[in-house]
Homo-oligomer: A and B are copies of this chain.
Amino acid sequence: MGHKPVVISDPYPQQLERIISPEKKAQLLQLVDLKESTQGRMPDREFDSYLGEAIAIIGQTPLPRKRLEMAPHLKVIFNVEGNFYQNIDYDFCFQRNIYILNCGGAYADAVAEMALCFALDVGRGVTREDRLFREGRERYVLEANRDAVQLTGATVGLIGFGLLGKSLKPLLEPFQCRVLVYDPWLPDNYIKEYGCIPVPLHELLSKSTFIFVLAGVTTENQGFIGEQEFNLIQNGSIFILMSRAAVVDFDEFVKRVEAGQIKGATDVFPEEPLPKNHPMRKLDNMLLSPHRAGGIPQAFYKIGEMIIDDLTLIMRGLPPMRMQQARPETIKKLCSRPVEKHE
Protein backbone atom coordinates (compact mmCIF):
# COMPACT_ATOMS: atom_id res chain seq x y z
CA MET A 1 0.00 0.00 0.00
CA GLY A 2 1.12 3.52 -0.58
CA HIS A 3 3.62 2.27 -3.12
CA LYS A 4 0.92 1.21 -5.49
CA PRO A 5 -0.58 3.93 -7.69
CA VAL A 6 -3.67 5.57 -6.23
CA VAL A 7 -7.03 5.17 -7.96
CA ILE A 8 -10.17 6.93 -6.69
CA SER A 9 -13.47 5.07 -6.97
CA ASP A 10 -16.52 7.36 -6.79
CA PRO A 11 -18.89 5.77 -9.28
CA TYR A 12 -22.19 7.12 -7.88
CA PRO A 13 -24.99 6.62 -8.97
CA GLN A 14 -23.36 3.46 -10.26
CA GLN A 15 -21.96 1.04 -7.67
CA LEU A 16 -18.53 -0.54 -7.88
CA GLU A 17 -19.89 -3.97 -6.90
CA ARG A 18 -22.25 -3.94 -9.83
CA ILE A 19 -19.59 -3.25 -12.41
CA ILE A 20 -16.76 -5.35 -11.09
CA SER A 21 -16.91 -8.99 -10.14
CA PRO A 22 -15.27 -10.11 -6.88
CA GLU A 23 -12.47 -11.83 -8.83
CA LYS A 24 -11.79 -8.76 -10.91
CA LYS A 25 -11.86 -6.56 -7.81
CA ALA A 26 -9.21 -8.71 -6.15
CA GLN A 27 -7.14 -8.33 -9.31
CA LEU A 28 -7.60 -4.55 -9.24
CA LEU A 29 -6.53 -4.38 -5.60
CA GLN A 30 -3.29 -6.16 -6.48
CA LEU A 31 -2.61 -3.52 -9.04
CA VAL A 32 -3.52 -0.26 -7.32
CA ASP A 33 -4.29 1.43 -4.02
CA LEU A 34 -8.05 1.84 -4.41
CA LYS A 35 -9.70 4.70 -2.49
CA GLU A 36 -13.37 3.81 -2.33
CA SER A 37 -16.48 5.77 -1.51
CA THR A 38 -18.16 3.60 1.09
CA GLN A 39 -21.72 4.62 0.38
CA GLY A 40 -23.17 7.02 -2.12
CA ARG A 41 -21.05 9.88 -3.35
CA MET A 42 -17.56 10.36 -1.86
CA PRO A 43 -17.39 13.48 0.35
CA ASP A 44 -15.62 16.31 -1.48
CA ARG A 45 -13.03 16.65 1.19
CA GLU A 46 -12.06 13.01 1.08
CA PHE A 47 -12.05 13.04 -2.70
CA ASP A 48 -9.80 16.08 -2.81
CA SER A 49 -7.41 14.52 -0.33
CA TYR A 50 -6.59 11.72 -2.79
CA LEU A 51 -6.12 13.89 -5.87
CA GLY A 52 -2.47 14.68 -5.27
CA GLU A 53 -1.46 11.06 -5.86
CA ALA A 54 -4.27 9.75 -8.03
CA ILE A 55 -3.49 8.42 -11.50
CA ALA A 56 -7.09 7.48 -12.24
CA ILE A 57 -10.64 8.32 -11.22
CA ILE A 58 -13.55 5.91 -11.61
CA GLY A 59 -16.75 7.92 -11.67
CA GLN A 60 -18.55 11.06 -12.75
CA THR A 61 -17.38 13.37 -9.95
CA PRO A 62 -17.35 17.06 -10.96
CA LEU A 63 -13.85 17.99 -12.12
CA PRO A 64 -13.47 21.69 -12.69
CA ARG A 65 -10.02 23.01 -13.57
CA LYS A 66 -9.27 23.78 -9.94
CA ARG A 67 -9.65 20.18 -8.99
CA LEU A 68 -7.81 18.86 -12.01
CA GLU A 69 -4.89 21.11 -11.15
CA MET A 70 -4.70 19.35 -7.81
CA ALA A 71 -4.07 16.06 -9.65
CA PRO A 72 -0.73 16.33 -11.42
CA HIS A 73 -0.41 12.57 -11.95
CA LEU A 74 -3.91 12.03 -13.28
CA LYS A 75 -3.89 10.03 -16.50
CA VAL A 76 -7.42 8.79 -16.92
CA ILE A 77 -11.02 9.34 -15.88
CA PHE A 78 -13.35 6.35 -16.26
CA ASN A 79 -16.94 7.39 -16.85
CA VAL A 80 -19.13 4.47 -15.75
CA GLU A 81 -22.49 6.07 -16.52
CA GLY A 82 -22.48 5.80 -20.30
CA ASN A 83 -23.34 9.49 -20.62
CA PHE A 84 -20.94 12.42 -20.59
CA TYR A 85 -21.81 15.34 -18.32
CA GLN A 86 -20.76 18.95 -18.55
CA ASN A 87 -19.09 18.80 -15.14
CA ILE A 88 -15.49 18.32 -16.28
CA ASP A 89 -13.07 20.86 -17.73
CA TYR A 90 -12.57 18.83 -20.87
CA ASP A 91 -10.25 21.36 -22.54
CA PHE A 92 -7.84 21.09 -19.67
CA CYS A 93 -7.90 17.29 -19.93
CA PHE A 94 -7.23 17.35 -23.68
CA GLN A 95 -4.27 19.71 -23.26
CA ARG A 96 -2.79 17.49 -20.58
CA ASN A 97 -3.55 14.29 -22.50
CA ILE A 98 -5.71 12.99 -19.68
CA TYR A 99 -7.96 10.27 -21.09
CA ILE A 100 -11.68 10.48 -20.49
CA LEU A 101 -13.02 7.02 -21.21
CA ASN A 102 -16.59 5.90 -21.57
CA CYS A 103 -18.12 2.54 -20.73
CA GLY A 104 -20.84 2.67 -23.41
CA GLY A 105 -19.20 -0.15 -25.37
CA ALA A 106 -19.92 -2.57 -22.53
CA TYR A 107 -23.61 -2.48 -23.35
CA ALA A 108 -23.34 -2.58 -27.12
CA ASP A 109 -23.61 -6.37 -27.51
CA ALA A 110 -26.60 -6.59 -25.20
CA VAL A 111 -28.41 -3.72 -26.89
CA ALA A 112 -27.70 -5.11 -30.35
CA GLU A 113 -29.20 -8.49 -29.39
CA MET A 114 -32.24 -6.71 -28.04
CA ALA A 115 -32.61 -4.55 -31.15
CA LEU A 116 -32.56 -7.63 -33.35
CA CYS A 117 -35.07 -9.32 -31.06
CA PHE A 118 -37.43 -6.33 -31.29
CA ALA A 119 -37.20 -6.35 -35.09
CA LEU A 120 -38.01 -10.06 -35.34
CA ASP A 121 -40.68 -9.86 -32.66
CA VAL A 122 -42.58 -6.91 -34.11
CA GLY A 123 -42.04 -8.12 -37.69
CA ARG A 124 -43.76 -11.37 -36.87
CA GLY A 125 -46.18 -10.16 -34.19
CA VAL A 126 -44.77 -12.49 -31.57
CA THR A 127 -45.59 -10.55 -28.42
CA ARG A 128 -48.94 -9.44 -29.76
CA GLU A 129 -50.06 -12.97 -30.57
CA ASP A 130 -48.78 -14.29 -27.25
CA ARG A 131 -51.08 -11.78 -25.53
CA LEU A 132 -54.05 -12.95 -27.59
CA PHE A 133 -53.18 -16.54 -26.74
CA ARG A 134 -53.33 -15.80 -23.03
CA GLU A 135 -56.76 -14.26 -23.57
CA GLY A 136 -57.91 -17.39 -25.38
CA ARG A 137 -58.17 -15.53 -28.64
CA GLU A 138 -55.22 -16.96 -30.52
CA ARG A 139 -55.39 -17.31 -34.29
CA TYR A 140 -53.66 -20.35 -35.72
CA VAL A 141 -51.30 -20.54 -38.69
CA LEU A 142 -52.00 -18.16 -41.53
CA GLU A 143 -54.65 -15.98 -39.96
CA ALA A 144 -52.31 -14.13 -37.63
CA ASN A 145 -49.61 -14.00 -40.28
CA ARG A 146 -51.22 -11.72 -42.81
CA ASP A 147 -49.14 -8.75 -41.71
CA ALA A 148 -45.98 -10.77 -40.99
CA VAL A 149 -42.77 -9.25 -42.32
CA GLN A 150 -39.61 -11.30 -42.70
CA LEU A 151 -36.24 -9.77 -41.89
CA THR A 152 -34.54 -12.04 -44.42
CA GLY A 153 -33.93 -10.03 -47.54
CA ALA A 154 -35.47 -6.82 -46.18
CA THR A 155 -34.11 -3.29 -46.53
CA VAL A 156 -32.93 -2.12 -43.14
CA GLY A 157 -32.05 1.42 -42.09
CA LEU A 158 -29.69 2.29 -39.26
CA ILE A 159 -29.93 5.86 -37.99
CA GLY A 160 -26.60 6.39 -36.26
CA PHE A 161 -23.60 4.15 -36.83
CA GLY A 162 -21.55 4.33 -33.67
CA LEU A 163 -20.72 1.44 -31.37
CA LEU A 164 -24.30 0.27 -31.34
CA GLY A 165 -24.74 0.26 -35.11
CA LYS A 166 -21.45 -1.53 -35.50
CA SER A 167 -22.57 -4.18 -33.04
CA LEU A 168 -25.92 -4.66 -34.75
CA LYS A 169 -24.56 -4.89 -38.30
CA PRO A 170 -22.94 -8.35 -37.94
CA LEU A 171 -26.14 -9.75 -36.42
CA LEU A 172 -27.99 -8.72 -39.60
CA GLU A 173 -25.45 -10.33 -41.91
CA PRO A 174 -27.03 -13.81 -42.19
CA PHE A 175 -30.36 -12.23 -43.12
CA GLN A 176 -28.89 -10.84 -46.33
CA CYS A 177 -30.46 -7.46 -45.80
CA ARG A 178 -29.61 -4.32 -47.72
CA VAL A 179 -28.39 -2.09 -44.89
CA LEU A 180 -28.77 1.68 -45.33
CA VAL A 181 -26.98 3.96 -42.89
CA TYR A 182 -27.49 7.61 -42.05
CA ASP A 183 -24.85 9.15 -39.82
CA PRO A 184 -23.88 12.77 -40.40
CA TRP A 185 -20.65 12.41 -38.40
CA LEU A 186 -19.19 9.76 -40.71
CA PRO A 187 -17.80 9.84 -44.26
CA ASP A 188 -19.53 7.67 -46.83
CA ASN A 189 -16.42 5.59 -47.41
CA TYR A 190 -16.26 4.69 -43.74
CA ILE A 191 -19.82 3.38 -43.85
CA LYS A 192 -19.11 1.44 -47.05
CA GLU A 193 -16.17 -0.32 -45.43
CA TYR A 194 -18.68 -1.97 -43.11
CA GLY A 195 -20.67 -3.23 -46.07
CA CYS A 196 -23.45 -0.68 -45.60
CA ILE A 197 -24.88 1.89 -47.97
CA PRO A 198 -24.62 5.54 -46.86
CA VAL A 199 -27.79 7.48 -47.62
CA PRO A 200 -29.47 10.75 -46.64
CA LEU A 201 -32.07 10.50 -43.88
CA HIS A 202 -35.07 10.93 -46.17
CA GLU A 203 -33.91 8.09 -48.40
CA LEU A 204 -33.37 5.80 -45.44
CA LEU A 205 -36.83 6.52 -44.09
CA SER A 206 -38.64 6.07 -47.37
CA LYS A 207 -36.88 2.84 -48.38
CA SER A 208 -36.44 0.84 -45.20
CA THR A 209 -38.84 -1.80 -43.93
CA PHE A 210 -37.00 -1.98 -40.62
CA ILE A 211 -35.74 1.32 -39.15
CA PHE A 212 -33.45 1.27 -36.11
CA VAL A 213 -32.82 4.53 -34.24
CA LEU A 214 -29.39 4.12 -32.67
CA ALA A 215 -28.16 7.72 -32.51
CA GLY A 216 -27.23 9.31 -29.21
CA VAL A 217 -28.60 12.73 -28.29
CA THR A 218 -26.47 15.72 -29.15
CA THR A 219 -26.98 19.44 -28.94
CA GLU A 220 -27.83 19.28 -32.63
CA ASN A 221 -30.21 16.40 -33.16
CA GLN A 222 -33.03 16.63 -30.63
CA GLY A 223 -36.34 15.64 -32.14
CA PHE A 224 -34.81 15.35 -35.60
CA ILE A 225 -37.25 12.61 -36.52
CA GLY A 226 -40.50 14.47 -36.47
CA GLU A 227 -43.75 14.80 -38.39
CA GLN A 228 -42.17 15.29 -41.81
CA GLU A 229 -39.81 12.42 -41.32
CA PHE A 230 -42.55 10.03 -40.21
CA ASN A 231 -44.47 11.00 -43.33
CA LEU A 232 -41.70 9.45 -45.40
CA ILE A 233 -41.93 6.02 -43.82
CA GLN A 234 -43.75 3.32 -45.79
CA ASN A 235 -46.94 1.82 -44.48
CA GLY A 236 -46.21 -1.34 -42.57
CA SER A 237 -42.61 -0.49 -41.74
CA ILE A 238 -41.20 -1.26 -38.33
CA PHE A 239 -39.67 1.53 -36.26
CA ILE A 240 -37.37 0.54 -33.41
CA LEU A 241 -36.10 3.11 -30.95
CA MET A 242 -33.08 1.94 -28.98
CA SER A 243 -30.93 4.95 -28.09
CA ARG A 244 -32.63 8.00 -26.57
CA ALA A 245 -36.24 9.16 -26.60
CA ALA A 246 -35.19 12.77 -27.24
CA VAL A 247 -34.01 12.17 -30.81
CA VAL A 248 -37.56 11.55 -32.03
CA ASP A 249 -40.76 13.52 -31.68
CA PHE A 250 -42.12 10.89 -29.36
CA ASP A 251 -45.78 11.90 -29.53
CA GLU A 252 -45.61 11.70 -33.29
CA PHE A 253 -44.09 8.23 -33.04
CA VAL A 254 -46.91 7.04 -30.77
CA LYS A 255 -49.48 8.64 -33.06
CA ARG A 256 -48.19 6.80 -36.11
CA VAL A 257 -48.31 3.44 -34.39
CA GLU A 258 -51.79 4.21 -33.13
CA ALA A 259 -52.88 5.10 -36.66
CA GLY A 260 -51.55 1.81 -37.97
CA GLN A 261 -49.03 3.38 -40.36
CA ILE A 262 -46.09 1.72 -38.66
CA LYS A 263 -45.39 -0.82 -35.97
CA GLY A 264 -43.00 0.12 -33.24
CA ALA A 265 -40.80 -0.94 -30.40
CA THR A 266 -39.08 1.25 -27.87
CA ASP A 267 -36.68 0.78 -25.00
CA VAL A 268 -36.65 4.45 -24.00
CA PHE A 269 -39.27 6.98 -23.01
CA PRO A 270 -39.43 10.75 -22.60
CA GLU A 271 -40.16 10.22 -18.93
CA GLU A 272 -39.18 7.18 -16.95
CA PRO A 273 -41.31 5.85 -15.36
CA LEU A 274 -43.90 6.48 -18.02
CA PRO A 275 -47.18 7.82 -16.60
CA LYS A 276 -49.48 4.95 -15.70
CA ASN A 277 -52.22 6.24 -17.97
CA HIS A 278 -50.06 6.87 -21.02
CA PRO A 279 -52.03 5.76 -24.10
CA MET A 280 -49.10 3.84 -25.56
CA ARG A 281 -49.56 1.19 -22.91
CA LYS A 282 -52.57 0.03 -24.87
CA LEU A 283 -51.19 -0.04 -28.39
CA ASP A 284 -51.37 -3.46 -30.00
CA ASN A 285 -48.48 -2.93 -32.36
CA MET A 286 -46.04 -1.23 -30.00
CA LEU A 287 -43.56 -3.37 -28.12
CA LEU A 288 -42.75 -1.79 -24.76
CA SER A 289 -39.46 -2.33 -22.98
CA PRO A 290 -38.64 -0.43 -19.79
CA HIS A 291 -35.09 0.77 -20.57
CA ARG A 292 -33.55 -2.64 -20.15
CA ALA A 293 -31.83 -3.36 -23.46
CA GLY A 294 -28.32 -2.77 -22.17
CA GLY A 295 -28.28 -3.14 -18.42
CA ILE A 296 -27.91 -6.86 -17.96
CA PRO A 297 -25.57 -8.26 -15.32
CA GLN A 298 -23.03 -9.50 -17.90
CA ALA A 299 -22.79 -6.03 -19.45
CA PHE A 300 -22.25 -4.33 -16.10
CA TYR A 301 -19.40 -6.68 -15.21
CA LYS A 302 -17.84 -5.97 -18.57
CA ILE A 303 -17.32 -2.37 -17.46
CA GLY A 304 -15.02 -3.47 -14.68
CA GLU A 305 -13.15 -5.73 -17.02
CA MET A 306 -12.65 -2.85 -19.44
CA ILE A 307 -11.45 -0.53 -16.69
CA ILE A 308 -8.82 -2.99 -15.53
CA ASP A 309 -7.67 -3.68 -19.09
CA ASP A 310 -7.29 -0.01 -19.97
CA LEU A 311 -5.80 0.97 -16.62
CA THR A 312 -3.21 -1.76 -17.03
CA LEU A 313 -2.29 -0.51 -20.48
CA ILE A 314 -2.01 3.09 -19.28
CA MET A 315 0.16 2.03 -16.36
CA ARG A 316 2.41 0.22 -18.84
CA GLY A 317 2.75 3.38 -20.93
CA LEU A 318 0.41 2.19 -23.66
CA PRO A 319 -2.78 3.73 -24.99
CA PRO A 320 -6.14 2.35 -23.78
CA MET A 321 -7.84 0.02 -26.25
CA ARG A 322 -11.18 -1.05 -24.82
CA MET A 323 -13.21 1.94 -23.72
CA GLN A 324 -14.23 4.81 -25.92
CA GLN A 325 -12.23 7.97 -25.72
CA ALA A 326 -13.94 11.36 -25.43
CA ARG A 327 -12.85 13.56 -28.30
CA PRO A 328 -12.47 17.31 -28.19
CA GLU A 329 -14.73 17.96 -31.17
CA THR A 330 -17.73 15.99 -30.02
CA ILE A 331 -17.64 16.09 -26.24
CA LYS A 332 -19.48 19.38 -26.06
CA LYS A 333 -22.16 18.22 -28.41
CA LEU A 334 -23.00 15.24 -26.26
CA CYS A 335 -25.44 16.51 -23.74
CA SER A 336 -27.33 13.65 -22.16
CA ARG A 337 -28.82 14.84 -18.96
CA PRO A 338 -28.11 12.62 -16.00
CA VAL A 339 -30.79 9.96 -16.13
CA GLU A 340 -31.01 8.32 -12.73
CA LYS A 341 -31.16 4.98 -14.33
CA HIS A 342 -29.31 2.50 -12.15
CA GLU A 343 -31.41 2.81 -9.02
Contacts and interface: CB of A to CB of B under 8 A. Distances in A.
A314 to B, nearest CB: 8
A135 B49 CA distance: 49
Nearest to A286: B130
A146 interface: yes
A173 interface: yes
Interface string A93-120: 0110100000000000110011011101
Q: How large is the interface on A (under 10, 10 to 19, 20 to 34, 35 or more residues)?
A: 35 or more
B141 A341 contact: yes
Contacts of A317: 329
Interface string A132-150: 0110101111101110101
A73 B338 CA distance: 35
A235 interface: no
Contacts of A290: 129, 133, 138-141, 144
A273 interface: yes
A27 to B, nearest CB: 12
Interface stretch (A32-40, A187-195, A199-207, A240-248): A187-195
A330 interface: yes
